[in-house]
Amino acid sequence: MTTTLRMILVLLALLAPPALADVTLIRNVQIFDGVNDELSAARDVRVVDGVIDAIGANLDASEDARIIDGEGRTLMPGLINAHAHVMLQLPVWAALTSDSYTFAYTATVAAKTLLDNGFTTIRDMSGNTFSLKQAIDSGLLPGPRIYPSGAMISQTSGHSDHRTAEAPSRLLDENSRSALEKQGMVFVADGRAQVLQAARENLRRGATQIKIAVGGGISSYGDPLDVTQYTDDEILAAVEAAADWGTYVAAHVYNSKGVQRAVRLGVRSIEHANLIDREALRLMNRNDVWLSPQVTVFETELQGFNADQLAKQRLARDGLHNLMSMAADMNYDNIVFGADIVTSMKALSGINQELVSRTRWFSSFEVLRQATSKAAELVALSGPRNPYGKLGVVEEGAVADLLIIDGNPLEDISTLATPKENIRVIMQGGRVHKNTL
């Protein structure tokens, strides 16, 4: 009976009609492809099963295809935020007192907010995002595809150490942990063995890259921005653990000494770098290291931060213009868009203003590349840990993460600053999240 039943099931499977492809035909759009500095002439884009199948004039599609008429509007790749913290949008006081459910509920709203703003992909740079990523990938929740770092790793008194002064030393109480560490948002690790273990724990959960802190931070309590963190051996431990999994390490750091140490030891992406000098930036450039700076977060009034933290924010803000000016003068090519917004859902809803802020130093085209094809190149450094296809471009074979917008962002990038009105279609992997045409 069992053999007969199996034969019947095999025959039924062979005789069943093939599943119909999911096809969308987007007609009459001018394309910014993420690479070139001009819009194309009017074109059609055919999407089949989430991938761009063809680009051309007067394309054909099956009778059951979904048709979207762009009516001459601009089509471009979905935006990529290469420095996100989707799990860390609770206000400071709430983050210190909330349970994991509150973090999770808030993150689901944050994820939808990012997608509503046109961000179809994020590189999350510290946070327990693994379950959220799975929920988004499965279609359970709306949100950007996530390249997770897992918990950011730093030393005691480093940027992952958010204990306040009254917390006991770990030499006296090994359970001394901040609320963020207890929630799995950060790791504090000292010495080669602990750094290896922390990196491997993130990789075990599905991290696509590892993030460490090699300098002080604004939001943490015990580390000025000028200090250098982690010894050579500790940084090498993270780099080697990541390399063994075919991926890379990104480093949080503001100062030149920390940048130089990280680059020399094989770190591939520097986050922030506001206070570095030209020599350090040239070293990064020679070693093909990615620069992930931010603007708006340093010019926004931070809520719930103490006087020392606000002073560090002002110091980073004062160094920002020098960094961006040097990068522009140097024609530094490997720059990506990142916002680094934390503790404020209101600020997150205005994330697209970061695109406009960058035009003080870069052309609209350069900023758009930072948020599309260049950011896609960076996330692709995760190699075999990359769970997705080719992103950040409009070309045949690329993942169909697409926006249709009013206006020409190459001429006026501020059209993207009002996404509710001007982003008319948001498509992610061929699935239409928004369509107001």
pLDDT digits (tens, 9 = 90+) for 266-295: 999 999 999 999 999 999 999 999 999 999
pLDDT at residue 13, rounded to an integer: 57
pLDDT band at 302 (very low <50, low <70, confident <90, very high): confident
Fold classification of 80-360 is TIM Barrel (3.20.20)
Q: What is the mean pLDDT of the chain?
A: 94
pLDDT at residue 14, rounded to an integer: 60
Q: Which tokens sit at 246?
A: 């075919």
Residue 374 has pLDDT above 70, yes or no: yes
> How far is Cα 377 from Cα 382, in angstroms, rounded to an integer?
10
pLDDT at residue 175, rounded to an integer: 87
pLDDT at residue 16, rounded to an integer: 56
- Find tokens 């907010």 and name the residue: 113
Taking each helix axis from N to C end, the angle separating 130-137 and 100-116, rounded to the nearest 10 degrees, works out to 50
pLDDT band at 429 (very low <50, low <70, confident <90, very high): very high
How many angstroms from the chain centroid is the CA of residue 177?
27
Residue 166 has pLDDT above 90, yes or no: no
Taking domain 15-78+393-435, whether its CATH number is 1.10.10.60 is answered by no
Q: Which tokens sit at 213?
A: 């802190």
- Find tokens 């509150």 and name the residue: 102
Residue 238 has pLDDT above 80, yes or no: yes
* Domain spans in the chain, listed from the N-terminal domain onward: 15-78+393-435, 80-360
Residue 331 has pLDDT above 70, yes or no: yes
Which long-range contacts link 353-359 to residues 24+ away (Cβ below 8 Å)? 353/296, 353/417, 354/294, 354/295, 354/296, 355/413, 355/416, 355/417, 356/413, 356/414, 356/417, 357/295, 357/296, 357/299, 358/295, 358/324, 359/413
Least reliable range by pLDDT among 17-31, 80-94, 132-146: 17-31
pLDDT at residue 188, rounded to an integer: 97
- For residues 408-418, give the mean pLDDT: 97
- For residues 72-89, give the mean pLDDT: 97
- For residues 357-374, give the mean pLDDT: 98
pLDDT at residue 301, rounded to an integer: 78
First vs last Cα of the chain: how many Å apart? 56
> How far is Cα 335 from Cα 232, in angstroms, rounded to an integer?
25
Q: Which tokens sit at 367?
A: 């900023």
| Cα–Cα nearest to 412, from 379, 363, 351 | 363
Residue 112 has pLDDT above 60, yes or no: yes
Residue 422 has pLDDT above 80, yes or no: yes
Which regions of 195-332 does DSSP assign to beta strands (E)? Answer: 210-213, 249-253, 269-272, 290-292
Q: How far lies 14's CA from each of 1, 3, 9, 22, 294, in Å?
A: 20, 17, 9, 21, 55
For 11-67, write each residue's pLDDT tens digit. 655 665 555 789 999 999 999 999 999 999 999 999 999 999 999 999 998 889 999
Task: Specify burial of residue 67 (Cβ count, 10 A radius: 0-12, 13-18, 19+).
Answer: exposed
Percent above pLDDT 70 for the chain: 95
Residue 171 identity (one-letter amino acid): L
411, 404 Cβ separation under 8 angstroms: no
Residue 96 has pLDDT above 90, yes or no: no
pLDDT band at 10 (very low <50, low <70, confident <90, very high): low
